[in-house]
Amino acid sequence: MKNSAYFAAALCISLVGSVGSAAADDKSDANKRLVMDAVKMLFIDHKVDQAVDTYFAPGYIQHNPLVPTGSEPMRGFFKGFYATNPGSTVEISHVVADGDLVAVHYRFKVKPDDRGMAVVDIFRVADGKIQEHWDVAEPVPEKSANTNGMF
């Protein structure tokens, strides 16, 4: 092998160790895009049927204690919620994607002048669909011990 081939091969070997984690990172990026598209369609555009049919697996495993498990109960929950609260909004603060999990941190408001709630959703993605969901929600308090806000 000539020097140029040796150099190229050695460079390759030094890069190969990174490829496994690069593949994992590519997966994280793809899952982040999928979840952001789903969140925009469901939470911001309120297109419940389109979002559920496009992005959520029928066997969707629900960990939010207010909603029965499965994608159909979720469809019913959001259709009912948006019918009653058409002005509800979501402002996304952070998105953290790692392998099959994507965490989304946002302020949820029922009405524009609410202080709203701080929420983190964690979605698990597999086979091009959102398969599972956990969340935590907390009302934004009137007063805070610091001036940094919750977002």
Yes or no: say if 39 and 52 are a contact pair by the CB < 8 Å rule.
no
Shortest distance (Å) from residue 143 CB to its own copies:
7
For residues 68 and 87, which CB has a smaller minimum distance to its own copies in the complex?
68
For residues 26 and 45, which CB has a smaller minimum distance to its own copies in the complex?
26
Angle at 34 between CA 75 and CA 65, to 5 degrees: 40
Shortest distance (Å) from residue 7 CB to its own copies:
8
For residues 47 and 93, which CB has a smaller minimum distance to its own copies in the complex?
93
Shortest distance (Å) from residue 122 CB to its own copies:
6
Q: Residue numbers of the site for its own copies (CB under 8 A)?
A: 1-2, 4-5, 8-9, 11-12, 15-16, 18-19, 21-26, 28-29, 32, 61-69, 73, 93-98, 101-103, 105, 118-120, 122, 134, 136-138, 140-141, 143-151
Q: Is 75 helix (H, G, I), strand (E, B) or coil?
A: helix
CA distance linking residue 37 with residue 117, whole number of Å: 21
CA distance linking residue 79 with residue 91, whole number of Å: 20
For residues 50 and 96, which CB has a smaller minimum distance to its own copies in the complex?
96
Helices (H), 1-149: 3-39, 48-55, 71-84
